[in-house]
Structure 1
Amino acid sequence: MEACTAVEKELDKVFEKFRDLDKENQRKVEEIINKIEEYVATLNDSDGDGQISAAKAVKIMELLAEARAIATKASTGHRELHSTVSKVGKAIDKNFAADYSVAALNPDFATSERDAKLVNEVICRHFYRTGLPELGALLVQSAQLENTESVVEPYMVINSIVEALRRRDLGPALSWAEQRTDQLHQIGSFLLFRLQKLQYTTMLQQGRVKEGILYARLHFGRVLQAYIDREEIHSQLVGEVRSLMGALAYVHVGLEKSPYAPLTSDSLWIEICDLVNAGAKAVPLLMNMKQVMQQRQVGGMWSSNDDLPIEIDVDREFRFHSVFACPILKQQATEQNPPVRLVCGHCISKDALHKLSHGNKLKCPYCPMEMNTADVKQIFF
């Protein structure tokens, strides 16, 4: 109870600070709006030739400076509010122990037959999801679990696709993707096209040139037709298809010795395997999150297609992209918003730099060092 009271006090501080900040900002904004409206009315009532005198220009500049000062003060208040909010998280970490092992020490844990069955089903799903179907089947048999086919079938399909890809067999993956062509197209996925590219180049490497040409005519044309209404994507795909067809000119000398050697790289197979493996680990978490959002009726809170609503750990072996996420704004860096390195060594995004700086002065949000914004360096991946 004391832990809840401590967190509640921090939340009360946040609410109080938010109300005060909102009230002050509203007052300042209304004040400057009234001043501007009064001065505009004065300008409209005054006689003149439409030219702005030096005195009027000075007055306008003063109003602009006052408006900027209000905006700067509001930004400063927002940063202070962010600091107060962060204290709530620290209070939660301090007062609540995240030790879930105590559940296993509870003598009443999973004592009933129903609870034991649920635990066994969770463990069974874990075995199938992590590519250990033999252990999963052994647990199903020993624990006498029933009606597990519908639960484990998706994992079995994924595992069979991964195993086939390791043998460089694209059949199961292509079959799965072709059955979901419309769904992949709706979400803007090029998975099917990437698999078809790999199948086509494999045929050329094996000397099955005629079969490869027929395969390209059948499948690449469908891909281009599917994106004909999306000009940018369509033009990109046309360029890739032209490159793939150009590889035919070098089949007789070997693609490995031609300008199209990258099409035969082993990294393409590794990338496809990693993509499927990472997806298999991420999908269960995303499905759980989707179910929770639907139950709490907050599905509209996340509508972005560029990033995930939560961070998903897919193990270190699948982290091969150099992506920077700003620790201040919680956004991934882009060409328009690149990462920058402060003098002290801490890194933030360019947008965060603009929000935190006061003129040419900047204080690091993570250490006491102050610096000039001109000394900040952009980072290039």
Structure 2
Amino acid sequence: MEQCACVERELEKVLHRFVMYGHQSEERLDELLRSVCELRGQLVTFGVQDADLSVLSQTMAQCCKNIKETVQLLASRHKDIHGSVSKVGKAIDRNFDAEVSAVVAETVWDSPERQKYLSETIVEHLYRQGMLSVAEDLCQESGVVIDMSMKQPFLELNRILEALRMQNLRPALEWAVTNRQRLLDLNSTLEFKLHRLYFISLLNGGITNQLEALQYARHFQPFASQHQRDIQILMGSLVYLRHGIENSPYRSLLETNQWAEICNIFTRDACALLGLSVESPLSVSFASGCMALPVLMNIKQVIEQRQCSGVWTHKDELPIEIDLGKKCWYHSVFACPILRQQTSESNPPMKLICGHVISRDALNKLTNAGNLDQDPFSCTGRNTVSPAFYPHS
């Protein structure tokens, strides 16, 4: 990330110079245009015959001189910008290694099956980003067939998100009402916040929307127990409609960041209902690779300098542990080797003294059957248990 910051600083310098160059060029050219227009006006008004030719010659010469100086100045400043642009390229070469194949397994994408998985991952990412036409073109060129049942949720999600960005709440409200029970199972606040935001949009209309706002307040009834305080604040704001909410103690209700928040909440809950992560797996993988690649390059260089053989084997595991930050921490999935069931919060994994891990349900069954004295994995000796936690991967 430090390398990216170095390149970004150089790029910001170039952009700043471009902006300054544009403003200065515009000012100088406008100044020249005004002087030429004034000279033209004098010639039209007095005429060539009435004007003193010596004075006219001096004026024209001065005008040409100003034009020439301006062109030279702008050309010189433009040349300086070229120097700044070249510094960006040098910063990229200095901070990044163009050859990264040394830390990548050459045969990682040779399998047609893996290529198919990669194409499907890219297509899913494009659908998430709303780039539907690009995704369709990629499907045609790569031969990937995406079922319509997979496309439809992304189409609907992007349609609703686009409406929310245009501050249109109707599609999102209809979706939330349709999926109300599933959202309640997730303890989601999406539907209430959508109704709250629609109510605030009515408040923006002033006293003319007072009756409509009062009628719409009935939508808050199902959420009275969970959001009582918020509902009280919304109803109290009606008192200040005549003078304007922006001039009242409730002016915080009009903050514009609520629209960005509702987009994030909708994306999170919609992805949860679809069984998808909030962030695209491709985006997470790319970000993780950007953080891990410099470390791997450094390790590869050290290994080559010290002539350590057998350390770098291009297997699935990395030669060292790389800290990608808490954002990239994910819990691994553990399935009980006895019951063949995935563990959960209600049925967590338990570690035996011999080091094996089983689920608590399996432990209870072994205890009830009196088999805990003997390790179920044929290890000798008696066994005790302790809680086992999911390791971060």
Relative to the length of structure 1, the TM-score reads: 0.43
Larger Rg: 2
Higher relative contact order (CA 8 A, sep 6+): 2
Relative to the length of structure 2, the TM-score reads: 0.42
